[in-house]
Amino acid sequence: MARGEKKTKKRRIVGGVDTHANTHHAAVVMMNGGRIADAQFPATSAGYEQLVEWMRSFGRLHAVGVEGTGSYGAALARHLRAGGIVVIEVNRPDRRQRRNVGKSDPLDAYAAADAVLAGRATARPKSGDGIVESIRVIHLARSGAVKARTACLNELRGLLVTAPASLRERLPGLGAEPLTRACARLRPAGDLAAPEQSAKLALRSLARRYQALTAEIDGLHLQLKALIARARPDLLSIHGVGVETAAQLLTTCGDNPDRLTSESAFAALCGVAPIPASSGKTTRHRLSRGGDRQANRALHMIALTRMAWCPRTRAYVDRRTADGKSKAEIRRCLKRYIARELFKALTSKTNPTSDLRSAA
């Protein structure tokens, strides 16, 4: 081996990847920030192999910064981790940086590598290779079915408002389930050019769609409950935590919850960590608008449930109300305390998720 090749093999490098739907643009920089090369690869299994081989041809990979590890870069991140490569999640450049530097695939790839090298990017992405990934995709399907069912019911009620009076008078003031059952039994007869007959057909179609979506939601709910019981059997026993909220919290943490270094980091991820906004003699905090908003919603639902049904929480609400706190401020405090409690449950060492992932 030539002297130059030996030097290249010993050189430590950092990679950066700008991800897209069909292609990924990769760049390599030295540890002192010097740029080496960039190239584009297809977003396929063969393309991932080529990308890794290309990067390693320039030296020893210290780490690779990848944009979009939760979307276009998810498969690449899994491939890199499987090869023993340290993967760092990199945020896309903000508008100010793009205005100053410019925007292109090579520039974004170099920016990802520079972010890792400078220490601006340190977060480890979710592994997405275990039972929690299964929970995520089923939870996503269930959430979509719930939204579709709500839209279906709204369409049915809207159509009923403009339906002929003889049809409206047969379905007065019914709830969702009785209304859909009644509409599903409608039998259009005669010419569909008649508004009453076409309205019957449309109402029956919407009602049956609602029933089919309800059956789908119930089936997915049972599957989610079984998977959550396998991944975290103790999570559903926590007061106020149901299948929906447990699935969302597990999805937020991922299959590798050890990437969350502290309960403060988990609170910030869920958007319940107050942000300092002090100046001079004024000491205050403001509400965080960042983080995972769906995880924030899950904590909000748990807090509302406890405020309604948990005697200990109700006593806390009464005490803080006497101190002059508003309901909104009390909810924010509760969400922060709940995040601390759930972090311990989600990241405890007796986690069967790791065993399931290794056996997969």
Tens of pLDDT, residue by residue over 305-345, are 999 999 999 999 999 999 998 898 899 999 999 999 999 99
The CA-CA-CA angle for residues 58, 64, 67, to 5°, reads 130
276 — pLDDT class (breaks 50, 70, 90): confident
Answering whether pTM is above 0.75, one says yes
d(CA 180, CA 214): 11
What is the Cα–Cα distance from 17 to 110, expressed in whole angstroms? 8
Query: Mean pLDDT across the chain, nearest whole number?
Result: 89
The answer to whether 23 and 42 are in contact (CB under 8 A) is yes
- What's the CATH code, domain 3-118? 3.30.420.40
* Alpha-carbon gap, residue 335 to 263, rounded angstroms: 13
What average pLDDT does the segment 112-137 reach?
91
Element (H, E) at 32: none
Distance CA 211, CA 111 (A): 50
Q: State yes or no: pLDDT of 95 exceeds 70.
A: no
Of 293, 299, 317, nearest in space to 263 by CA: 299
* DSSP result, 137-179: HHHHHHHHHHHHHHHHHHHHHHHHHTS-HHHHTTS-S--HHHH
Residues 6+ apart with CB under 8 A from 234: 345
Query: Averaged over 50-61, what is the pLDDT?
Result: 94
pLDDT at 359: 32
Q: Which of 139, 141, 354 is nearest to 249 (CA)?
A: 139
For residue range 195-214, list pLDDT tens digits in order: 889 999 999 999 999 999 99
Residue type, 97: Q
Instruction: Report domain extents, the chain.
Output: 3-118, 131-231, 235-349
